[in-house]
Amino acid sequence: MQLGLLKRLNAARASRQAAVVVSDLASGEVRLILEGEPVAGPLGDEVGKVFRSGKAVTVEVEGKNLFLNVHLPPPRIVVIGAVHISQALARMAPVAGYELTIIDPRTAFATEERFEGVELIADWPEDVLKDRPLDAYTALAAVTHDPKIDDFPLSEALRSGCFYVGALGSRKTHAKRVERLKALGRSEAEIARISAPIGLDIGAASPAEIALATLAQIVQAFRRRDIVSAR
C-alpha cells in the first residue's frame, strides 16, 4: 500500500464515507474504491456485497486472489423529538450497536432527567444539522408530530440520502406531510422513501413497542440497503 492511498482512505473514514480497499494478494497491488464509484464486472458485484455486509473477505475474481477490506462509518440514529418513544429507543439503540442523538427544541421535553446518559440537544434541527450534517450512515426518525419541528429534518434526511427516514403519524397526517415536503422541493421518489407510519408492522401499541418496531425497521433498512447500484 502507498501512503497516498492510505491518506485518501483515512480522509474518507474521517468524513464518514464508506470505502473498500482491494488488495491483490499475489502482486501486492492495492486499489481504493469509495462508495458510489462505479466498478464494472464481477469485482463490482463483490464490492457491492462487502459494502452491504460490512465484512472483509478474500475472493477470487478473474483468476486473481483478492482481499476486500471494507471500512464503513458506524451507523447512527438521529431522533427528532424527545418524546416517550425516544426514551425507549435511546435505551435500545446502543444494545443494537447504534449511536443515538436526540434533537428537540422544546426544553420541557428535552430534559436531562428524562434522558440521562443520552446525547440530547435542546435546539432547532435547522441549527443543529448545520454543524452535524446527516449522511448515508444515519437513520432519521421524526417523532414530534409537529410539522414546525419535523419537516425540515425530514427534508434534509431525504436530500442527504440517510439510509432510513421514518416519520410518526397516521396515514392522514402523512398525506398532508407529503404535500409540505413537495413544497420544500423534495421529489415524489424521495418522499416515497419515508417509512410512515413509522416502524415494522408488528402491531406495536405502547411507546416501547413502537420504539422496538422502529429500531427493527432501521436494522432492516441498514442491512438490506443497496448502496452501489442506488447512486
Partner 1 sequence: MTSTATLDPLTTAQAWKQAGRDVAIATVVETWGSAPRPTGSHLVIDSDGNFEGSVSGGCVEGAVITEALDVIGSGAPRMLEFGVADETAWQVGLSCGGRIKVYVERLG
Nearest CB to partner 1, comparing residues 67 and 152: 67
Q: Which residues bind partner 1 (CB under 8 A)?
A: 1-3, 6-7, 9-10, 13, 23, 25, 28, 30, 55-58, 67, 69-70
Cα 231 to Cα 228: distance, rounded to the nearest angstrom: 6
Least Å distance, CB 20 to partner 1, is 10
Buried-state track 133-171, b at ≥16 Cβ within 10 A, e below 16: ebbbbbbbbbbbeebebbbbbbbbbbeebbbbbbbbbee
Least Å distance, CB 63 to partner 1, is 18
User: Residue 180: is it exposed, middle or buried by C-beta count within 10 angstroms (0-12/13-18/19+)?
Assistant: middle
Nearest CB to partner 1, comparing residues 13 and 193: 13
Nearest CB to partner 1, comparing residues 8 and 114: 8
| Cα→Cα distances 57→20, 60, 97, 173, Å | 11, 10, 22, 45
Least Å distance, CB 19 to partner 1, is 11
Least Å distance, CB 9 to partner 1, is 7
Nearest CB to partner 1, comparing residues 72 and 82: 72
Q: Which 3 state secondary structure label does DSSP give 127?
A: helix
